[in-house]
Structure 1
Amino acid sequence: MTSAGSEALATRLRAAGCVFAEDEAGLLVDSGATGDALEALVRRRVAGEPLETVLGWVEFAGMRLTVRPGVFVPRRRTELLARVAASRCAPGSVFLELCCGVAPVGALVHAGEVHLADLDPAALACARVNAPDAHVHLSDLYAALPADLRGRVDVVAANAPYVPSDAIALMPPEARDHERRMALDGGPDGVDLHRRIAAGARDWLAPAGVLVIETSPHQAPLTVAAMSDAGLATEVVVDDSVAGCVVVGLG
């Protein structure tokens, strides 16, 4: 595509409300699509679909993860969750990512066993691509996990939905209109899933096992309380550079 064509594409994207129109135009052109195929991608983006699912990938912690329409697109803030979880894993560790989505954490950690669980088959299809050596489970949290995992998981990590139900309407259209509600809705105060995860964690964690949950700075006290109620000692870790916040629970 000529520079004039790229600028015209950026102008269309800017008119549709894309803040980084020039960068997005470059990525769409670099996708290799041309002619009608490129036009189809542009129309999807102009209609409000997230750029990442239009392209088919998202950059995360230096990796390109596969994403498909309708799935939850990993945010940069989840890089903190991935780093903390990875730092707790040894080569022989057993790792479990709950509410894994496309498996941004599972794709990053190095462990002896990696298990991924989610309720969304479309997200799990992406997870299988992003973490091809992992064991993948269609499961509501711990419900359908194999029984032989009980008591031997060294690290459980979760970016469970933590948007309060009433706040979903305030989210950017790319999220509220293109990601499944079950990937966003954390209940009235956003911490319903955190409570469920914490309450069940000790049955699955190995001795000295660790639970790591992404939350927001505002909701961190509620996530801490959920872990404390489950008998876990807690630590809050914040990284302002990625706007990340996680709570670590120690058995």
Structure 2
Amino acid sequence: MATVILVRHGRTTANASGMLAGRQAGVRLDEEGVRQARAAAERLADVPLAAVVSSPLERCEQTARLLLERQAEAPALETDERLTECDYGDWQGRKIADLAKEDLWRTVQQHPSAAVFPAGESLAAMSARAVAAVRERDAAVEAVSGPQAVWAAVSHGDVIKAILADALGTHLDQFQRIVADPASVSMVRFAAGRPFVLGVNTHAGDLAWLAAGPATEAPAQDAVVGGGAGPATVAGART
């Protein structure tokens, strides 16, 4: 039962200007986005990452490389097309304020499983590929590095929300209830019986405890009734 850390890219020039960047080239972190990504990297500095896998878009690769800079033994950066941004089609490059006036906006908000972007992708298709990518990668990391392994996937807001919805057992129509801010960190531990969601949209706090692995009061695939004692303290971790 490896653990995946889901990191959204830091703030970009498009985020700051209220534009839906989509898959446009040349969208990079702004100054605040770099600061945010470095803060996330600092939180993960004491978590030895077995793998770091990124969306191929520049803003995610930038964020991933900043994460790797703080790793004592950094793995090679990998990319996975299935973690890329949703293909927003004709919506790409337009102002969010203008898109909010479109009829499709209401579907995206209230019934996202039925939303198909004009000349683009459906949110259901985006969810399916992203969830498959994370689950397959997680199994591969565990096979190589063991059940205590922790790895990071750097992706985009809607992609991360879809992965979290799946882990929570929540229908895609409810995924707009989940928030994934720029450079936020969410954590999921996959087990044979079910995923365990360890954190959603976190912005602060040392994460060295993730390296301790799950509590041992119950079988690894089971939830501890009453909540349990939590993870063990990691020797040498910062406090």
State the TM-score bracket (shorter-chain normalisation).
Answer: 0.3 to 0.5
Instruction: Name the structure where strand makes up a greater proportion of residues.
Output: 1
TM-score normalised by L of structure 2: 0.38
TM-score computed with the length of structure 1 as normaliser: 0.36
Which structure has the higher relative contact order (CA within 8 Å, separation 6+)? 2
